[in-house]
């Protein structure tokens, strides 16, 4: 589920992806490579990033990248500069990094609040800011950022994460407004809970397991990483050339309420 045949939708384009080594980021990297993009990747996990790069190169993709902290503005500037040095252009940025730490709002520590904001919202801002001058100079570009159902209407016990993901949506809306006249599009994606290993392990340990966790989702199941990758591909490609400033929502709760 989630796979479609390649039509080379990103042929000739250079795409930057943060948080690419696992889960949704990995699925997006694989999908972009199949669609002809030249890739420049990032992840904190250097060994896993190298393994992904080797795998993609084994399938004839042109791909490189740098391991490092996407919440460090100096690293992000260096990562973007290296992409320009390697390929001479940036056409697509996909901001994938996001980290949650649970806690009721009145109990969130300063450290947890700053960690979640830094990893989830600051990382998106730093990469977006870094690519904009190159996209403005080229007169084109597409920025796609990963939000979450938690960023739409809040989420019980995930206040810091929900606030950061809501900020991602608003940041993309603002970029769309400010830079649309310069040929740059910016959109966000809010998939429902997605079948990645960490989430599956977490939900399995909850009362009722995965079945109880998906009962109030629109589709009554977890979203697959490949399905998210297809949505990101659509927004990154010229197939959505007139679409900007939207939050593409899928398979999420209409509202998050305190569990009974």
Q: Where in the sequence numbering do the catalytic residues fall?
A: 161
Backbone angles phi, psi at 148, to 5 degrees: -165, 155
Separation CA 230–CA 94 (nearest Å): 13
Q: Which of 83, 20, 80 is nearest to 50 (CA)?
A: 20
Tokens linked to 175: 């970029």
**Three-state SS at 226:** helix
Task: Catalogue the long-range contacts made by 131-135 (C-beta closer than 8 Å, 24 or more residues apart).
Answer: 131/16, 131/80, 131/90, 131/93, 132/175, 132/179, 132/184, 134/80, 134/84, 134/89, 134/90, 135/90, 135/91, 135/179, 135/182, 135/183, 135/184
Q: What is the DSSP letter of 35?
A: T
């Amino acid at each position: 589920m989630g796979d479609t045949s390649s039509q080379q939708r990103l042929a000739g384009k250079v795409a930057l992806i943060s948080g690419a080594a696992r889960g949704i980021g990995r699925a997006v990297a694989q999908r972009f490579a199949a669609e002809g993009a030249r890739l420049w990747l990032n992840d904190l996990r250097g060994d896993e990033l190298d393994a992904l790069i080797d795998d993609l190169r084994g399938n004839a993709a042109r791909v490189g990248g740098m391991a490092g902290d996407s919440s460090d503005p100096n690293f992000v500037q260096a990562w973007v500069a290296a992409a320009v040095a390697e390929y001479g252009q940036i056409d697509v940025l996909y901001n994938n990094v996001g980290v949650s730490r649970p806690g009721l709002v009145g109990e969130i520590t300063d450290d947890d609040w700053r960690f979640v904001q830094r990893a989830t919202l600051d990382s998106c801002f730093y990469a977006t800011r870094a690519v904009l001058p190159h996209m403005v100079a080229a007169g084109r570009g597409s920025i796609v950022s990963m939000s979450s159902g938690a960023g739409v209407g809040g989420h019980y016990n995930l206040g810091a994460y929900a606030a950061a993901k809501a900020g991602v949506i608003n940041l993309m809306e603002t970029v769309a407004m400010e830079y649309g006249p310069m040929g740059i599009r910016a959109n966000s994606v809010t998939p429902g809970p997605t079948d990645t290993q960490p989430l599956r392990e977490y939900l399995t340990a909850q009362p009722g397991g995965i079945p109880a966790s998906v009962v109030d989702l629109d589709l009554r199941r977890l979203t697959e990483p490949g399905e998210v990758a297809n949505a990101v591909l659509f927004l990154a490609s010229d197939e959505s050339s007139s679409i900007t400033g939207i939050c593409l929502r899928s398979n999420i709760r209409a509202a998050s309420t305190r569990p009974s």
